[in-house]
């Protein structure tokens, strides 16, 4: 029985119950033999004349495979239509066959039978892993034998591998090679690591390094920073860089549906950070969902800051003091220009990942960054502003616009630059009727709602009064609250009444059966879930076509509908509803 406890993009950490035994994945299965395995390891495989037997060290057998389970895996009964073969206790997939739905019988282990051969083909490995996970589902562990060394362990886990073995580590040892996080190297060249360079001692060393790397990978999953760690590790080989690039560029949808819309602070230090699914999703949503608040007439482009959220930085506090010193400043729309996100409208600065990313600042923008920023800026600038002011301080050449006013002289925060900005804004803002504060707040919150939920979700704020001091905002109709924006949550949190307004207009829904939700909703009670739901999303709980409550998704939709364990939705508001008994009688 499997229960995912932590997730980090496509990777997950799972509690695995097998009989009375317990273990967790990702995990490494170590060969039981004369060479010592890591002391705290708990998965073992042993060879016999009958094949390979994998078990938990306390005794429970996990699965059994003949000793030819390494490629080409020709011993198994093979179905050319599905690409699956079924052994006694394991579901096995061959990447060279056509792929279809899994057989009806549920197995907890899916074995990637030709994994070792895929070390030569990064594209085929990425393609096979995506196909296998989609077909095998969330209630199966993926085992990729003969493929793991210390340097690629993090990448394998990130791409969906749950179980690995130490066979490649032993093969490397037989060749006199030490396996490290930075790649493999001759033991004879690394006396400072291992003085007694026998096959036995190298095997033991390789195993110990793999076990330590596994613990670090598990830690990164728990902290939801595995992607950042993988970007560091992949530079050990060209194959790994290729695999990650292909995984990002060709299988964005697969990753994105498993990627939370909330997360911790992270560093975007590598080239690959431009294509992190959460970063890429931000840029796509700006293009697909974002429209400016109707009250904003003047577009002001400003640089990012190291401190997040931006409004807490001294730089942006200086910008805002200057802007707010101008009469009728509510017609000004602040948009931050930054890599790797492109643009961040001021009203979205609390959202993940705008409030969490950090990047190295060098003043150099490569071609991909420039192209990305220009696409985003042009999209924003095309939304009907009367005037565009650029206060970027040397980066205006990258934005790709022809008609704008440049107000920065050197540093954007210099006295001269701020005075110039104030002067230009005073003249520009004076041309418009004064915007009522209540209207500006309402239109701004509508833009936030459209970005969070979808283009039709602006109806959430229709007829509401938006109150509170930034960055706290409440949407109310009389004394009835529809939702609230806070920096702690980073997005709009809904009430049941607010959810009713946008059901069918972008808000994800989770349908349950005829029972009263008490406490949080678990996956076992989910009948269906909108495919758009991601971990961290606001969701409405639907029963008999009505909103029964609202809460936060604790797993993506793809997992809700394919799991029978784990917390699916952490409930915030409930509605008591009548239930219908099996006899058709209404009960309280």
Q: In this predicted model, what pLDDT tens digit does every residue of 324-364 receive, in sequence order?
A: 999 999 999 999 999 999 999 999 999 999 999 999 877 77
Number of structural domains in the chain: 3
Residue 276 lies in a domain: no
DSSP codes joined into one string, 471-534: T-EEEEETTEEEEEE-TTTSSEEEPHHHHHHHBTTTBEEEEE-SS---SSEEGGGEEEE-TT--
Amino acid 215: pLDDT: 98
> Which of helix, strand or coil describes residue 564?
coil
Phi, psi of 16 (to 5 degrees): -120, 115
Maximum average pLDDT range among 93-97, 246-250, 368-372: 246-250
> Among the three residues 404, 429, 454, which one is the final residue of a domain in this structure?
429
Chain segment 184-209, per-residue pLDDT in tens: 999 999 888 888 889 999 999 999 99
| Beta-carbon count within 10 A of 154 CB | 28
Q: Is the dihedral of CA 529, 531, 537, 538 positive or negative?
A: negative
H/E element, 377: helix 367-381
Query: Does the pLDDT of residue 75 top 70, yes or no?
Result: no
Stretch 483-498: mean pLDDT: 96
451 lies in the same domain as 352? no
Residue among 58, 55, 28 at smallest CA distance from 44: 55
DSSP-assigned letter for residue 102: P
Q: Are strands 43-48 and 27-31 parallel, antiparallel or unpaired?
A: parallel
38-52, 63-77, 497-511: which range is least confident on average? 63-77
Stretch 12-38: mean pLDDT: 89
Confidence band of 526 (pLDDT split at 50, 70, 90): very high
Stretch 377-388: mean pLDDT: 96
DSSP-assigned letter for residue 38: P
Query: Does the pLDDT of residue 586 top 50, yes or no?
Result: no
Amino acid 54: pLDDT: 80
Residue among 376, 414, 410 at smallest CA distance from 395: 410
Query: Alpha-carbon distance 33 to 556, whole Å?
Result: 41
Confidence band of 567 (pLDDT split at 50, 70, 90): very high
Query: Does the pLDDT of residue 72 top 70, yes or no?
Result: no
Stretch 295-313: mean pLDDT: 96
412 lies in the same domain as 307? yes
Query: Does the pLDDT of residue 222 top 90, yes or no?
Result: yes
> Among the three residues 369, 394, 429, which one is the final residue of a domain in this structure?
429
177 lies in the same domain as 321? no
Residue 267 lies in a domain: no
Q: How many CA atoms lie within 13 Å of 298's alpha carbon, on the beta-carbon side? A: 23
CATH of the domain at 147: 3.20.20.105
407 lies in the same domain as 444? no
Mean pLDDT over each residue of the chain, to the nearest integer: 88
113 lies in the same domain as 32? yes
Stretch 38-50: mean pLDDT: 81
Residue 277 lies in a domain: no
Six-digit token string for 112: 């990637």
Amino acid 51: pLDDT: 61
Confidence band of 545 (pLDDT split at 50, 70, 90): very high
Query: Does the pLDDT of residue 89 top 50, yes or no?
Result: no
72 lies in the same domain as 150? yes
Amino acid 192: pLDDT: 87
Residue 397 lies in a domain: yes
521 lies in the same domain as 556? yes
Residue 230 lies in a domain: yes
CATH of the domain at 337: 3.40.50.10630
CATH of the domain at 529: 3.10.400.20
> Which of helix, strand or coil describes residue 434?
coil
DSSP codes joined into one string, 153-216: HHHHHHTT--EEESHHHHHHHHTTEEEETTEEEEGGG-TTT-SS--HHHHHHHHHHHHHHHHHH
> Which of helix, strand or coil describes residue 13?
strand
Stretch 392-400: mean pLDDT: 81
> Among the three residues 408, 429, 450, which one is the final residue of a domain in this structure?
429
168 lies in the same domain as 195? yes
321: containing domain: 290-429
Name the one residue in this structure whose structure tokens are 């904003």: 296
63 lies in the same domain as 196? yes
Name the one residue in this structure whose structure tokens are 């540093």: 411
Six-digit token string for 126: 């990425």
8 lies in the same domain as 106? yes
Stretch 374-402: mean pLDDT: 91
Residue 273 lies in a domain: no
H/E element, 256: helix 252-256
Q: Is 488 left (phi over 0), alpha (psi -120 to 50) or beta?
A: alpha
| Residue 355 contacts residue 261 (beta carbons within 8 Å) | no
| Beta-carbon count within 10 A of 161 CB | 25
Query: Does the pLDDT of residue 64 top 90, yes or no?
Result: no
Could you tell me which residues are beta bridge partners of residue 302? 336
Residue 65 lies in a domain: yes
486 lies in the same domain as 554? yes
| Length of the chain (residues) | 588
Q: How many CA atoms lie within 13 Å of 493's alpha carbon, on the beta-carbon side? A: 18
165 lies in the same domain as 87? yes
Confidence band of 48 (pLDDT split at 50, 70, 90): low
Residue 284 lies in a domain: no
């Amino acid at each position: 029985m499997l229960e995912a406890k932590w997730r980090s993009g496509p990777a997950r950490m799972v509690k695995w119950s097998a009989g009375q035994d317990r273990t967790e994945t990702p995990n490494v299965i170590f060969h039981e033999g004369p060479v010592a395995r890591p002391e705290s390891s708990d998965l073992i495989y042993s060879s016999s004349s009958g094949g390979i037997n994998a078990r938990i060290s306390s005794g429970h057998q996990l699965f059994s495979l003949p000793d030819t389970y390494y490629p080409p895996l020709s011993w198994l009964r093979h179905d050319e239509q599905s690409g699956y073969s079924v052994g006694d206790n394991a579901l096995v997939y061959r990447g060279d066959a056509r792929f279809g739905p899994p057989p009806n019988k549920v197995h907890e282990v899916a074995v990637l039978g030709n994994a070792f051969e895929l070390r030569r083909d990064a594209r085929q490995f990425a393609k096979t892993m995506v196909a296998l996970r989609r077909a095998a589902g969330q209630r199966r562990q993926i085992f990729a034998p003969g493929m793991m060394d210390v340097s690629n362990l993090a990448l394998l886990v990130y791409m969906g591998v749950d179980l690995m073995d130490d066979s490649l580590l032993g093969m490397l040892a037989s060749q006199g090679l030490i396996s490290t996080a930075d790649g493999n190297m001759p033991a004879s060249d690394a006396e400072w690591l291992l003085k007694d360079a026998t096959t036995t001692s190298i095997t033991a060393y390789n195993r110990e390094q793999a076990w330590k790397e596994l613990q670090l990978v598990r830690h990164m999953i728990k902290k939801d920073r595995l992607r950042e760690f993988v970007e560091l590790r992949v530079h050990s080989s060209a194959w790994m860089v290729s695999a990650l690039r292909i995984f990002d560029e060709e299988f964005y949808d697969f990753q994105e549906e498993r990627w939370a819309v909330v997360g911790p602070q992270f560093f975007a230090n590598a080239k690959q950070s431009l294509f992190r699914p959460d970063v890429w999703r931000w840029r796509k949503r700006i293009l697909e969902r974002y429209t400016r608040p109707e009250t904003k007439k003047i577009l002001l482009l400003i640089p990012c800051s190291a401190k997040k959220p931006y409004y807490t930085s001294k730089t942006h506090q200086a910008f805002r003091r200057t802007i707010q010193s101008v009469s009728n400043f509510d017609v000004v729309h602040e948009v931050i220009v930054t890599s790797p996100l492109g643009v961040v409208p001021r009203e979205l600065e609390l959202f993940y990942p705008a409030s969490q990313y950090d990047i190295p600042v060098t003043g150099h923008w490569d071609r991909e960054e420039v192209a990305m920023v220009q696409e985003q800026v042009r999209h924003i600038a095309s939304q009907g502003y009367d005037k565009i002011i650029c206060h970027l301080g040397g980066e205006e050449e990258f934005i790709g616009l022809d008609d704008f006013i440049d107000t920065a002289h050197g540093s954007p925060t210099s006295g001269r630059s701020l005075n110039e900005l104030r002067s230009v804004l005073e003249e520009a803002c004076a041309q418009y009727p004064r915007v009522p504060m209540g209207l500006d707040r309402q239109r701004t919150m509508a833009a936030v709602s459209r970005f969070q939920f979808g283009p039709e979700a602006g109806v959430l704020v229709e007829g509401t009064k938006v109150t509170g001091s930034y960055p706290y905002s409440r949407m109310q109709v009389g004394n009835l609250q529809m939702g609230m924006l806070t920096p702690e949550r980073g997005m709009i949190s809904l009430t049941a009444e607010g959810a009713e307004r946008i059901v069918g207009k972008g808000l994800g829904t989770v349908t349950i059966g005829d029972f009263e939700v008490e406490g949080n909703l678990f996956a076992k009670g989910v009948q269906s879930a909108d495919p758009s739901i991601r971990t961290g999303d606001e969701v409405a709980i639907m029963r008999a076509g009505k909103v029964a409550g609202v809460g936060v998704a604790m797993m993506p939709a793809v997992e809700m509908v394919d799991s029978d364990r784990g917390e699916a939705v952490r409930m915030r508001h409930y509605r008591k509803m009548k239930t219908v008994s099996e006899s058709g009688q209404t009960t309280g």
